[in-house]
């Protein structure tokens, strides 16, 4: 470290490290707001860290003595494996557009099918990717879902932007 530069600041940390510190403060600080929204809650994090951070963040928020509600967006399906979606206080939504361009929000409910897939060893991240592919095949009016389906089968001009919206608390 250079002489006179023996103090670390936020400028010295990565975006991922700052996000971890921010979410920890948001969940545990006594003066944190009771309602807050966090966009791209996984930004700058590798998938394993995103999963673990969401696991701890959800635990902190759900066990907080002061009631808090956090709305979060994420583009990384790995965060799903860190969320206790069987807990009704945690809500997962998908956001899409219909064929007229209007925004459509649907709640994803952990049902028997998802729980059966968990018994087979699927992580929630993989289950949600499969669920999104099934929904996509319905959207494209394909007759039958093929387990060999891959993004390579999509038309080149098709662009999909998926966001996961999650409400904790």
CA distance 166 to 73: 6
> Is the pLDDT at 144 greater than 70, yes or no?
no
Neighbouring CB atoms inside 10 A of 42's CB total 25
pLDDT digits (tens, 9 = 90+) for 83-131: 887 788 888 887 878 888 888 888 888 777 777 776 776 666 655 555 5
In order of their start, the domains of the chain are 14-168 (3.40.50)
For 114-144, letters b (16+ CB in 10 Å) and e give: beebeeeeeebbebbebbbbeebbeeeeeee
Residue whose C-alpha is closest to residue 163's, from 69, 80, 93, 89: 93
0.85 exceeded by pTM: no
């Amino acid at each position: 470290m250079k002489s006179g530069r023996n103090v670390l600041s936020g400028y010295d940390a990565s975006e991922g490290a700052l996000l971890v510190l921010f979410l920890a403060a948001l969940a545990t600080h006594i003066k944190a707001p009771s309602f807050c929204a966090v966009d791209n809650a996984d930004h700058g994090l590798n998938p394993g860290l995103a999963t673990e951070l969401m696991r701890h963040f959800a635990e902190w928020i759900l066990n907080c003595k002061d009631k808090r509600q956090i709305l979060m967006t994420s583009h990384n399906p790995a965060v799903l494996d860190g969320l206790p979606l069987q807990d009704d206080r945690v809500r997962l939504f998908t956001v899409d557009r219909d064929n007229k361009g209007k925004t459509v929000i649907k709640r994803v409910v952990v049902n028997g099918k998802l729980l059966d897939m968990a018994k087979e060893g699927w992580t929630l991240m993989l289950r949600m990717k499969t669920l999104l592919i099934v929904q996509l095949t319905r959207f494209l009016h394909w007759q039958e879902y093929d387990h060999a389906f891959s993004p390579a089968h999509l038309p080149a001009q098709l662009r999909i932007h998926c966001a996961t919206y999650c409400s904790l608390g």
